[in-house]
Every structure is written in C-alpha cells, then in structure tokens.
Amino acid sequence: MSYFVTGTDTGVGKTLVSCALLHGFAAQGKRVVGMKPVAAGRVGNDMHEDVKQLRAASNVLADENQVNPYCFAQAIAPHIAAQQAGVSIDLARIVKSFRALQSLADVVIVEGAGGFRVPLNAEQDSAELVRQLGIPVILVVGLRLGCLNHALLTCEAIAARGVRLAGWVANGIAVSMSHQTENIAALQQRIAAPLLGIVPFQSRPDAGEISSRLNLKLLES
C-alpha cells in the first residue's frame, strides 16, 4: 500500500499531511516509511527539513539515500536546482529506491515536490514519476483564495495521466479564509474522490494530532 502526496501548490502542507498519514497508518499497526524523492533547499550538509520530518514520523528506518535520492541546496524548481548542481534527475533511480522501501514497509508515503506537474528534468515531470511508480495520489488542497481553480485543474491533470485520485485533504494554511466552508463544499461537489479530512490552521501544527482528523478508512473504498 503506497500513496503519492501532491499539492495544489508549494507550501500547502504536503509534508504535514504526509507525516500525519504515516502516524495514522502506524497507529493501525503497520510498518510505515516516508519518501521524498526530490528535495530542494538543503542547509549545508544537514538533512533536508522535510526529510527529517518524514523520517521522524516513520517507524521503519531506511537509508537516507533511498528516502531522499535527490537533494539540492537551492530552494528553487527541482529541474533548475539539478541543473545548477550539474546533475539530471533520473526517474529510474527514484523508482528503484521506492521499490526498495516497499520491501521494508507495509505503507510508503511518497511526498512530491511542489505541485503535480512540476518539471523534474528536461522531458519529465512529477506526473510522469507518479505514473511510473504506479500508485494512487492524495491531494493536499491549501485553503486560500484561488484554491478552487488550483484543485480542480490538478484533479484534471491527475485523471489525464490515468492515475487514481484516492482522496484529498483540505488544509488550512491561513489564519482565516472567507467562506471556507462554502469553498470546501464546492470542491466536495466537484472532486470524485473522498475528502479525508479538514485540517484547521495551526501556528504550530502537530502531525500526530492531525492524523486523528484524517479518515483513512475512506482510502479503502
């Protein structure tokens, strides 16, 4: 059982939701591990912050190079960061690392970089990576003005690639949002996948607590 977590944009809470999913499945007694195929914005030689959080939420200890095959210093688009580092992101390497993680755990949660169509190299993007991994997607919708369009376009892109949208999470990324309830209702009417949970804005969110807000049983439907 594996899921790819994508978002309507960057900075919408993919890492938080990914960690919450890991906590939730671990609470069911499953062996879980998080994966961040491509990360950008590494500080010095330290592990990328997203990778740190995913490893902390995992109960399977895996090799860092499998959890995070590509990590770049500059916090910019992955393919540009790779170019600056003089490398090219190879999807085959990512898929190989993913298969290795699958052999170690019952559940692998793969967190994407940015949105669903973010370029990874000169010819391939995150959507192609998901297609090659062959796993369903969980969409994190950052609740803010413009999220309706971003969410629905992302859902269309997921469907166009023949990938299954397993569910979506409404994540509060602003202190307040005008007509938030109505926006969520509009998405529920238009997205042909279950709403797994609504996460209210928190200045210091806790993935363990948030896991209790996600209905993972809906992923079984």
| pLDDT of res. 178 | 86
- Mean pLDDT (whole number) for 43-62: 90
Strand 2-7 with 137-143, pairing: parallel
- Mean pLDDT (whole number) for 50-72: 95
Domain range for 107 is 2-220
pLDDT in tens, 168-220: 999 998 887 889 899 999 999 999 999 999 999 888 889 999 999 999 999 97
pLDDT: which is higher, 197 or 41: 197
> pTM of the prediction?
0.95
pLDDT in tens, 65-113: 999 999 998 889 999 999 999 999 999 999 999 999 999 999 999 999 9
Catalytic residue among 14, 30, 36, 52: 36
pLDDT in tens, 19-40: 999 999 999 999 999 999 999 9
How many residues are there in the chain? 221
| pLDDT of res. 76 | 92
pLDDT surpassing 70 at residue 1? yes
Which conformational region is residue 71 in: left (phi greater than 0), alpha (psi within -120 to 50 degrees), or beta?
beta
The CATH number for 25's domain is: 3.40.50.300
| pLDDT of res. 134 | 96
Q: Would you call 36 a catalytic residue per the annotation?
A: yes
Tokens 């997921």 belong to: 158
Tokens 């994966």 belong to: 35
pLDDT surpassing 70 at residue 221? no
Q: What are phi and psi of 82, to 5 degrees?
A: -65, -45
pLDDT: which is higher, 153 or 203: 153
Rounded Cα distance between 10 and 209, Å, is 23
Number of domains in the chain: 1
| pLDDT of res. 44 | 72
Kindly report the CA angle at 200 between 107 and 15, in degrees rounded to 5?
35
Tokens 């979506």 belong to: 168
